[in-house]
């Protein structure tokens, strides 16, 4: 476990910024206490100070996880967000997509969101913008990347992909052993 280097911090913030924009500041500077990012086994954890102090006493080999796992660094030092970061992405997300109840299940099985399943989408969403996916009852389901801008969404045919799937809460069941 160690703090992130500057390059790693930059990679993490760039990835987070695609979904929550300048709201990263709210994650870094929280009124309710001190929170920080820590790297442990190539995974980035978002930890409160209290939890961090407790975890510091555990040997590195024995420590499985701490705080909330935001994602992990690949072997080529790229940062990938995990679905476990959804709890912190959803409240601050700038661009959202609502999925119709009929295609919720499809998304939760790891499929892309099609135009036919698109309930609503935030205005002004640009193409390839990171979006958080909600059910129509405003339950965050996952996140992905907008395949089409809002303008284009109106014109495409119903079977066209609108949001590329990146992570969904179904992963808690599907890949339970790799999510930490």
Partner 1 sequence: MAAAVRVEELLAAAAPGEREAPRSVAVEKELELEFDLGNLLALDPNPPPAAGLRGAGPRREAALRALARDNAQLLVAQLWALPAERAGGAAGPLVASLPEPSCRLPREKPPPKPRPPTRWEQFARLKGIRRRKRTSLVWDEQAKEWRRRWGYRRAGGDPARSWLLEVPAGADPEEDQFAKKRQEKRERVARNEFNRLRNLARAHRASTAIPAPPLHPTGHQSRQELGLAARVARVSTASLGRFQPRLPKEPVELPPRGRCSKKRRFEPVLGDLAAERGRQLELLKAMNSKKPALDITRAVNKQLREEDAEAAAAKGKKQKQRGKRGRRQQQRPARGGRKSGARRQQRPAGGNITGGKRKKA
**Site for partner 1, rule CB under 8 A:** 1-3, 5-6, 9-10, 13-14, 17, 22, 24-25, 28-29, 34, 36-38, 49, 52-53, 56, 98, 100, 118-124, 126-127, 136-138, 149-151, 153-154
Q: How far is the CB of 82 from partner 1 (least distance, A)?
A: 20
Q: Which of 138, 163, 135 is nearest to 149 (CA)?
A: 163
Q: How far is the CB of 69 from partner 1 (least distance, A)?
A: 17
Contact 156, 71 (CB under 8 A): no
Contact 70, 15 (CB under 8 A): no
CB-nearer residue toward partner 1: 22 or 177: 22
CB-nearer residue toward partner 1: 42 or 49: 49
Residue 131, SS3 per DSSP = strand
Cα angle vertex 95, ends 108, 38, to 5°?
75
Contact 115, 129 (CB under 8 A): no
Q: How far is the CB of 107 from partner 1 (least distance, A)?
A: 15
Q: How far is the CB of 44 from partner 1 (least distance, A)?
A: 13
């Amino acid at each position: 476990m160690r703090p992130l280097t500057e390059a790693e911090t930059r990679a993490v913030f760039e990835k987070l910024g695609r979904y929550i924009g300048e709201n990263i500041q709210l994650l870094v500077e929280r009124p309710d206490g001190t929170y920080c990012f820590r790297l442990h086994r190539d995974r980035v954890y978002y930890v409160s100070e209290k939890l961090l102090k407790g975890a510091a006493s555990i040997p590195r080999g024995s420590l499985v996880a701490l705080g909330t796992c935001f994602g992990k660094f690949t072997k080529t030092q790229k940062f990938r967000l995990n679905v476990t970061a959804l709890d912190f992405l959803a409240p601050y997300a700038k661009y959202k997509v609502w999925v119709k109840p009929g295609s919720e299940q499809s998304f939760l099985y790891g499929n892309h969101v099609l135009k036919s399943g698109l309930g609503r989408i935030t205005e002004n969403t640009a193409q390839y913008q990171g979006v958080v996916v909600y059910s129509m009852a405003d339950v965050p389901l996952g996140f992905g990347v907008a395949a089409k801008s809002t303008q284009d969404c109106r014109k495409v045919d119903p079977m066209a992909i609108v949001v590329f799937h990146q992570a969904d809460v179904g992963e808690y069941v599907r890949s339970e052993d790799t999510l930490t």
